[in-house]
Amino acid sequence: MRKILFTLTLFVSVSLFAGNQFEAQFEKANELYESANYEEALKVYYELEKAGINGFNLQFNIGNAHYKLDEIPSAILHYEKALKIDPSNEDVKQNLKLAYAKTTDKIEPARELVINRWWKQIINLNSADSWGIIATFLLFTSLMLALFYLLANKSIIRRIGFFGASAVLLMAIICYFFGYQQHNYSNEAKAAIIFTPTVSIKSAPGESGTVLFVLHKGTKVHLLESTNEWRNVALPNGNKGWIKENDIREI
């Protein structure tokens, strides 16, 4: 028993030390960024990323540093990663607009049904984790109201408890469903950013394919199937074609 407690204590101590160390590194990188030493800040940010640290603030700050260095494809890549973590964040949405404004390709998305657009907006109001937290809170509230129904003597309080618990439970189920849908949407909607200055999109995987159109660095493409060193991609306007995998970086 003492050995188990010692091992557990050691594990917690090491975890806390590592956490404090990573936090100190992050603060150091932020200070470098604030002093306009963007390249050095990026070195520290990427060290944290390689160590397995990932989160909205880290990806957002990496994007900001690349943007300051006018490295637009890298800025967009990390802004998109940050948006994937927190799809409701307005700051990263605004920064993405500024970054995309500096890209060459201006692609108008295909028309989408209003109901589909509304649905995406609703499920993207929060991340999957946030929907889960809200749903758990509502479930706990529903259980508390159910206790009022079970333990109260007055009929009016019992009715409030019953109908309140039912309504809040329904809201919890809806939030869990939104979180599930948001999680699936984030995982299934795989995308990438083009890093090569100019690329020819081919009709088939291979150099012998016909050139369908040309894209430039910073453009976002949606990923479809892959074969050998080629990837089939789609644009928001519906155009599709093949691109070399080393021309893109997946979000």
- The pLDDT tens digits for 17-41 are 455 788 899 999 999 999 999 999 9
Question: Which tokens in the block code for residue 227?
Answer: 């074969």
Distance (Å) of CA 2 to CA 6, 7, 15, 77, 158: 6, 9, 20, 49, 50
Q: Which residues contact 234 (CB under 8 A, 6 or more apart)?
A: 221, 222, 224, 240
* Per-residue pLDDT, 153: 85
- Return per-residue pLDDT of the chain as tens, 251 residues: 344 433 333 343 344 445 578 889 999 999 999 999 999 999 999 999 999 888 999 999 999 999 999 999 999 999 999 998 888 899 999 999 999 999 999 988 777 778 888 888 888 888 888 899 999 999 999 999 999 888 888 888 889 999 999 999 999 999 999 998 888 877 767 899 999 999 999 999 998 899 999 999 999 999 999 898 999 999 999 899 999 999 999 98
CA distance 92 to 86: 9
Per-residue pLDDT at 175: 93
For 98-113, give one letter per residue: b (16+ CB within 10 A) or e. ebbeebeeeeeeeeee
Q: 193 - beta bridge partners?
A: 220, 249
pLDDT at position 228 is 86
Q: What is the pLDDT of residue 19?
A: 57
pTM beyond 0.75, yes or no? no
Mark 139-163 as b/e (b = at least 16 C-beta within 10 Å): bebbeebbebbeeeeeeeeeeebbe
